[in-house]
Amino acid sequence: MKVLVTGGGGFLGQAICAQLRARGHSVRAFNRTRHAALEKLGIEQHPGDISNIEAVLSASESCDAIVHTAGKVGAWGPVEEYYDANVRGTDHVLAACELNGIRKLVLTSSPSAIRGSHGDLEGVDESVPYPVHFGTPYAETKALAEQRVLAANGAELASVALRPQFIWGPGDPNLLPRVLARARAGRLRLIGDGNKKIDTVYVDNAAEAHVLALEKLDIGAPIAGKVYFISNGEPVTHAFLYNAWLEAAGLPPETRSIKPWLAHALGAVLETAYGIVGAQTEPPLTRYLAEQMSTSNWYDIGAARRDLGYAPRISIAEGLKRLRAHLRGNP
């Protein structure tokens, strides 16, 4: 099978490309720029931007399937940027499937698609409805993209959406380096007592879930048109996760904390200030981040285990062991 991986040069995208190649598939990565890591794997690369429909059409020509991981992440920024990347970009992928006769589409969605005013989410499954109001443009646009992909499932296209929760591991360019940088600068704090539980997923496990979904997907297949939560199935507390990362980096544990209401208020002030001055960078704290770091956020992955045959191979303990070795070699 010839597979196009949009965002193939990203953290998750590279892991998906590597696993697809190892399983004998022909892989083409669609990225804004070329990546040396993909070159080493012998992955074909097609430069382009997901917001350019012509580029998406060209990249997907002659492909049998698309794994769509590309998009804009974060909790800050103009809504039009999130909409352009996450919604219009997905529309371009759907158009490419239709115009190029592609039968399979796997979307990387996010649990953020169902996070609104739910507060603590503890062991919930895929039956949780979309919220009426969203906390960030990212969450809302991921929900819109997910709905478009699932609605496109039919007689000519089989589609499925995965919601990996909190992807991490060696090479993570997102939250992990920010946590470590704040700890080194003495600016890291827990929000609340740190005892609320969250799900995470090691990057190789998240990638394998995408490969399993792709290989089981076909028109009329039982998983077609469905969405699945993906995690390690090992909920841990916020305090455990951040301090485990700090330990892996050779840093002391963090015990200092601030009240959730104060973190929320500080986030609101910082968002307002950054908006007034037109800052392009994300504030060090936002209301959404304060809410995420002070609430429970873990899910039932029974459906993925049953329907996809998903079983996380890399435990959190093993993932931390690998992270520790990586950080020692890449301080």
CA distance 297 to 200: 9
Sheet containing strand 26-31, edge to edge, reads: 44-47, 26-31, 2-6, 65-68, 104-108, 158-164, 227-230
Return the SS3 of 167.
Answer: strand
Q: How far apart are CA 72 and CA 265, in angstroms?
A: 26
Judge whether 274 counts as a catalytic residue: no
Q: Could you give the CA distance from residue 209 to residue 308 in angstroms, rounded to a whole number?
A: 7
What phi and psi values does residue 20 have, to the nearest 5 degrees?
-60, -45
Which entry of 82, 138, 202, 228 is annotated as an active-site residue?
Answer: 138
CA-to-CA dists, residue 193 to 37, 115, 234, 285, 314, angstroms: 40, 22, 20, 17, 28
Active site amino acids: 138
